[in-house]
A and B are shown apart, each in its own frame.
Chain A
Amino acid sequence: MRADWSIYISFIGAGLVMLLPRNAKNLIRWTALLTGVAALTVALTGYLAYNSWIKTGNAGLWQVINLPWIPLLGSNYHLAVDGINYPLVVLNGFVCVTGILFSWNIEERVKEFFAFFLTLIAAVYGVFMAMDLFLLFVFYELAIIPKYFIIAIWGSTRKEYGAMKLVLYSFIGSALVFIGVLAAYFAAGGITFDILELSKYPIAGHIQVWVFPLIFVGFGVLAGMWPFHTWAPTGHVAAPTAASMLLAGVVMKLGAYGCLRAAMLLFPAGFEYWRWIIAWMAVIAIVYGAAVALVQKDFKFIIGYSSVSHMGFVILGLATLNVTGMSGAILQMFSHGVVASLLFAVVGRMIYDRTHTRQLDELGGLRKALPFAFWTFLIGGTASMGLPGFSGFVAEIQVLIGAFQMSPWLAAGAAISIAITAAYILLALHKVFFAEEEHVTGDGHGHGEVVGESRWNLPGITCPEVVASVILMALLVIVGLYPSIMLDMIKANVALFPGVAR
């Protein structure tokens, strides 16, 4: 089936869910799950076919569909896939399926939740595949609104504030993109929005220099680019689990992908002009995100800030403009997507939904109470630290090598964060899963706990959670041990990117 069916299936699924009766909660959940699985299957089969095509030494775009949409503007309904966006399309599919599984326990307004969720998924598929700037922008904006409702209705801590902040940041980002898109369109003659056509048109250097940062920063806001990242931690924390997974796992990648596909491809001269500033901002994000994560008291905020840090690697990799660095960046998008989903699932679903607290000081000793959560967090955390054997290692090492080629100082700066990352992951691991096993806690009123015995009496991990966690962990390990399944197609296509150094 054509790759664009992932989009339509998700939209249809959202529509179906809307039509189901309000109280048939299980039916709604299964419909959503089947929709997600069907969309993922389409994406995955296409991915494997594309991968085997790559293995025979090919590279380039696979056209999916290209029809005139608004001929007056020169906008086409143009979708295509290549080695750069296919990993992200597949990532979206996996996050969708696991997100639905982790949302199995939502009881309130189930129907609306999955309708919004699937709309968001469909829009994200659309952004990743769009090859027309106008179409990409349409999908990109379409993805903004469902996030608001998902967070504001089903979220937790300061949900209305977090939701509004996230939406306004996204909208302001897209406003910058909008201005840049219009400028690019007219600078290239005002006849087409097709990205491939536009990229052939040499836009004057003085225009590139001011239009590039508009589009790059506009998308960069969503990628959690420092100093425009502040929506990310508050948004992630406020969001319900599935939405945190989706936000950190996929939506942040929308931003980075937009930077790559729209800003960097269309404005090479502008990119060259701003490259160093972007690289250093990325390094700041990497170190700053990790350092802030280290001092957080809220478990979810740790993961939220770690996302800022990890997305910094993506931006840094893109800024290197060499095959190694950029390939690392794209692989990092996939890897971080999976890791962040996994960690947010542990924090939001497995722990918070059961203990109703995320404060590190109030948690502790969960290793015995929730062993599965412990092992999942251990694996996710290890992957997040970038240990060999997991996808994060392959990605980050490539980014660092690429950055080193650009300037050793960049690589050195970014490398600091690896130590900090290890520190905050281990700290969290200790405080949440081990601490308090050894000593008595008391609230000062004689309600102490007995040594050695877990004070938690929590419901066990459910089947959907196990399935979803296993899927995500398997992805980390498969790509970690056998990176060529993804890296080959990424590298082959990145090498075709104009102006890329070998």
Chain B
Amino acid sequence: MNYLTLFRALAPEVILLLAAFVALTFDLLLQHSHELQQRMRIAGVFAIVGLLGAIVLLIQQAPVTLLGGTLVVNQLTVIFKIVVVALTVLTVIISIEYPVGRHVGEYFATVLFGAIGMMLLVSAEELITVFVALELTSLSLYILTAFHKGALRSQEAAVKYFMFGAISSAFLLFGMSYLYGVTGSTNLREIAVAIQATGSTPLLVVALLFILVGFGFKVAVVPFHLWAPDAYEGAPTPVTAFIATGSKVASFFVLTKFVMLSFAGMPGSAFWKHLTPGWTMLLALMAVASMVLGNLAAIVQHNVKRMLAYSSIAHAGYIFVGLLAASVTGATSVFFYVIVYALTNLGAFGVVTALSERVGGDDLEHFDGMAKRAPFLSLLMLIFILSLAGVPPLGGFFGKFYLFMAAVERDSVNFGLLWLVIIGIAMSAVSLYYYLILLKHMYVHKARNEERLKTPVYLNLTLAAVAIAVIYLGLNPQPLLALLKNFVAQL
């Protein structure tokens, strides 16, 4: 093992680490001489520079496998790392105006640490590394959730998130230890080979079950979703965006890797009329529960962030439908959807961040008449929300279409998975209702106060760029889709 190779392969992560320390140090030096707002900007710029540097390095990276398959760099992981870094950039940009308190350097450094964890998670193909990366991500997010120092809600959310997260980590680790015990390896690819050789054993089933439960917590599917609404509502809004996007992308990526590499050959079936206990059936049940409960619970929410939390639970359900297809198309559709979903959600939370601070809250009523008060951001919100609802020609529509298509394709002769698709489509009709309720508040209701809201230009432009990306991915999904499909086949 050449240390230079190691360093080169991890250069993007290293540069983020450096940026984090620079942001910390500079903020320490500036904290007495500068205003809070200026410190936010300076630290934010350092973080952004580091992140952009990471993107540049990522683009140039050559495929390499490190430490005997512990960390893998290939085109697919590079794409996902770029996505994670881009989401972090957006998180930082929407954070700059947000009052996170006086610990400015710590805030941005923690965001960057979280991003490093997500990047490692994307690369990891070894159980211990996966676990460590996941913990790095989660711990950063717990801390960030609590950043509203004065707000009790934020503290409560953080404690809840932490308790649930810690328990889920225990589940995950327990499952991994069994997996190691059964297969004798911690390397995902070696595990896959061992499973193929031995076939299914009861212990293996237990192992996979526990791993699924662990990941279920991380991606917030029913019945492991209870932390999500509180954490989403209580956390500072940019952090909510980060939790809902960056960590989801990384978690789903590694979960898909688990499914494709180790679950695929396992017994179990979710085909209608052939339902057999096993991991697919478990996934199917979780998918149905998430789609139904997430969407129905979202209808009665009065808080936009809470509503988006339930909607994200529902979206995790949709993604599970593609995931349990366990095919190349299925994995492609999951990857495509996760990317589109993350962009869309980040945009939506970005608009919520920008507006809620100026109107004093993030309940539905606070958004009344927003179309008049902030027409541009309202238009962007319209695009993001409709993309979440799956309305063409936006990315969310195509992503959902492709997810469901992948599920039908899995058994295209007998339409074994069509029942899941039917539930999914029925539930997305339900989801249109509450998405329209939000848009109704923004576009139809009259505002009590018609004063125009001023938002910084850089924020508007950034969010507009995200909206354009969402539209582009809907109008022309082929390039990204072909890219992903090509690389998934290499998995």
Q: Which A residues are within 8 Å of any B CB, using their own CB?
A: 69-73, 112, 134, 137-139, 141-142, 144-145, 148-149, 152-153, 160, 164, 167-168, 171-172, 175, 178-179, 182-183, 185-187, 190
Contacts and interface: CB of A to CB of B under 8 A. Distances in A.
B440 interface: yes
A73 B478 CA distance: 9
A179 B425 contact: yes
B432 A171 contact: yes
A36 B181 CA distance: 71
A168 B429 contact: yes
B50 to A, nearest CB: 36
Q: Interface centre among A70, A71, A164, A168, by most B CB within 10 Å?
A: A70
B446 to A, nearest CB: 11
A148 B436 contact: yes
A15 to B, nearest CB: 12
Given A145-B391, A168-B429, A171-B432, A183 B415 contact: yes
Contacts of B482: 71-72
Contacts of A190: 409, 412
B392 A164 contact: no
Interface string B465-491: 000000000000110011001000000
Interface in B106-165: none
B304 to A, nearest CB: 19
Given A152-B440, A168-B433, 15 more contacts: A70-B477, A71-B482, A72-B478, A142-B393, A148-B436, A152-B444, A164-B433, A164-B436, A167-B432, A172-B426, A172-B429, A175-B425, A178-B425, A182-B405, A183-B408
A270 B404 CA distance: 24
B30 interface: no
Given A149-B443, A172-B429, A183-B408, A141 B436 contact: no
B10 interface: no
Given A141-B391, A145-B391, A167-B432, A182 B408 contact: yes
Nearest to A145: B391
A183 to B, nearest CB: 7
Nearest to A211: B415
A182 B329 CA distance: 15
A149 to B, nearest CB: 6
B237 to A, nearest CB: 26
Given A164-B436, A168-B429, A171-B432, A72 B481 contact: yes
B392 A142 contact: yes
B422 A179 contact: yes
Interface residues of B, number: 33
Contacts of A171: 429, 432
Contact of B478 (A69, A149, A172, A179): A69
22 contacts: A69-B478, A70-B478, A72-B481, A73-B405, A134-B401, A141-B391, A141-B392, A152-B440, A153-B443, A153-B444, A160-B440, A167-B432, A167-B436, A168-B429, A171-B429, A175-B428, A175-B429, A178-B404, A179-B421, A179-B422, A182-B421, A186-B412
Given A142-B393, A171-B432, A182 B443 contact: no
B397 interface: yes
A72 B476 CA distance: 12
Nearest to B402: A73
Interface of B: 371, 386, 391-393, 397, 401-402, 404-405, 408-409, 412, 415, 418, 421-422, 425-426, 428-429, 432-433, 436, 439-440, 443-444, 477-478, 481-482, 485
A138 B393 contact: yes
A70 B481 contact: yes
A150 to B, nearest CB: 11
A145 B386 contact: yes
B60 to A, nearest CB: 28
A152 B437 CA distance: 11
A164 B434 CA distance: 10
A185 B440 CA distance: 36
Nearest to A173: B429
Q: Which of B393, B418, B421, B444 has the most CB of A within 10 A?
A: B444
A167 B432 CA distance: 9
B432 A168 contact: yes
Contacts of B386: 145
Contact of A186 (B391, B408, B433): B408
Nearest to B413: A186
A175 B481 contact: no
B contact face: mostly helix, strand, loop, or mixed: helix
Most B Cβ at <10 Å: residue of A183, A186, A187, A190: A186
Nearest to A189: B412
Contacts of A160: 440, 444
B63 to A, nearest CB: 24
Contacts of A72: 478, 481-482, 485
Most buried by B among A137, A138, A183: A138
Q: B392, B418, B436 — which one has the most chain A CB atoms within 10 A of its CB?
A: B392
Contact of A142 (B391, B433, B478): B391
Contacts of B478: 69-72
A112 B443 CA distance: 10
Contact of B409 (A145, A153, A186): A186
Contacts of B485: 72
Contacts of A164: 433, 436
Contacts of A175: 425-426, 428-429
Contacts of A148: 436
B424 to A, nearest CB: 9
Contacts of A168: 429, 432-433
A179 B485 CA distance: 24
Contacts of B418: 179, 182-183
A121 B386 CA distance: 19
A168 B402 CA distance: 22
A175 B397 CA distance: 12
Contacts of A183: 408, 415, 418
B482 to A, nearest CB: 6
A175 B404 CA distance: 12
A175 B427 CA distance: 10
Contacts of B425: 175, 178-179
A171 to B, nearest CB: 5
A439 B444 CA distance: 43
B484 to A, nearest CB: 10
Contacts of A145: 386, 391
The residue among B386, B408, B425, B485 with the most chain A CB atoms within 10 A of its own CB is B425
B396 to A, nearest CB: 12
The 9 closest A-B pairs by CB, nearest first: A186-B412, A138-B392, A175-B425, A152-B444, A171-B429, A141-B392, A70-B478, A182-B408, A172-B429
A11 to B, nearest CB: 11
A172 B432 CA distance: 10
A69 B401 CA distance: 15
Among A112, A134, A179, A190, the one with the most B-chain Cβ atoms within 10 Å of its Cβ is: A179
B467 to A, nearest CB: 14
Nearest to A182: B408
B129 to A, nearest CB: 33
A198 to B, nearest CB: 15
B335 to A, nearest CB: 13
A250 to B, nearest CB: 19
B450 to A, nearest CB: 13
A73 B392 CA distance: 16
B13 to A, nearest CB: 33
Contacts of A187: 412
Nearest to B432: A171
A137 B421 CA distance: 17
B408 A144 contact: no
Nearest to B372: A109
A476 B485 CA distance: 54
A47 B394 CA distance: 32
B432 A182 contact: no
A454 B151 CA distance: 67
A160 B402 CA distance: 32
